[in-house]
A = this chain, B = another copy of it.
Amino acid sequence: MITSVHNKCIKETVALLAKKKERDRRGLFVVEGGKMFGEAPTEQITRVYLAQSAEKEMYAQYGDKLSGLSCEMVADEVFARMSDTVTPQGILCLVRQQHYNIEEILQNHNGKQALFIILEEIQDPGNLGTIFRTAEAAGADCVIMSSRTADIYNPKTIRSTMGAVYRVPFLYVENLSSIIKMLQEQGISVYAAHLGAQNFYDTYDYQKSTAFLIGNEANGLREETADCADALVGIPMEGRVESLNAAVASSILLYEAYRQRRNG
């Protein structure tokens, strides 16, 4: 059992929680809590840490899954120090990062109506996670992010995906313009959410292959990115609201596409 906060494993976990650089260097990220452990693909879990007082409960609930994994017991007070949450649930695991490539994703959706969401510099980890969660729910095939978007492996983001991070393919790209062009060449229409749009989002047909483009929370899309889109789409707003939250805007667009597809 690990009883010292100076233990190498504890220091490694704390570094993985705090630093994107460390996560990328090791190709790992940290997942906390019973539910998120339960949803993590077993073959990607490299190690599990259990708080001493939670051992019984966790084995009762996740015994089958735990039995094939490398588990380490941790004294409660040490576990609290390695946790990112205020009230740790007593289980934490290290998970291998997933890497997807665009060719594979496009191939998988050959012949089907695609639904993509493209994010430019979304900064808030909670917004990013919520967008993943909603994207899975609306049946999206992939989330594409500019390289300056928040890190999907940030612990706050992981939590707010509610497991969608394990299931929705995603990509970080340096250059959004060239990936937009690639999608368009595959017959996918790209609609940019934009305050300067002339038409509202619900005047377009999203039953064909569709990608939505969403910009930064404070500044919206860069002009050169918006220029690549097939059309700018506006979300109408009453009152004196100047813009919507980025996760809300994404949800309204994704669910309009999903609504049209369900209702034919």
Contacts and interface: CB of A to CB of B under 8 A. Distances in A.
Interface in A137-170: 137-139, 160, 162-164, 167-168
B252 A139 contact: no
A241 B202 contact: no
A248 interface: yes
A248 B130 contact: yes
A137 B238 contact: yes
A139 B168 CA distance: 33
Interface centre among A237, A255, A259 (most CB of B within 10 A): A255
Given A239-B164, A251-B252, A252-B255, A137 B244 contact: yes
A21 interface: no
A197 to B, nearest CB: 15
A245 B163 contact: no
B238 A138 contact: yes
Interface in A38-86: 39
A99 interface: no
A261 to B, nearest CB: 10
A133 B244 contact: yes
A248 B244 CA distance: 12
A245 B245 CA distance: 13
Contact of A247 (B163, B239, B242, B248): B248
A245 B139 CA distance: 16
Nearest to A139: B238
A262 interface: yes
Contact of A245 (B130, B138, B258): B130
A96 B49 CA distance: 49
A187 interface: no
Contact of A236 (B130, B136, B236, B258): B258
A259 B202 contact: yes
Interface string A156-190: 00001011100110000000000000000000000
14 contacts: A134-B245, A136-B238, A137-B238, A137-B244, A139-B239, A160-B245, A164-B241, A167-B239, A202-B262, A202-B263, A235-B255, A236-B258, A248-B248, A248-B251
Given A130-B245, A136-B241, 5 more contacts: A39-B240, A130-B248, A136-B239, A160-B245, A247-B247
Q: Which 3 A-B pairs have the closest CB atoms?
A: A139-B238, A137-B237, A136-B239
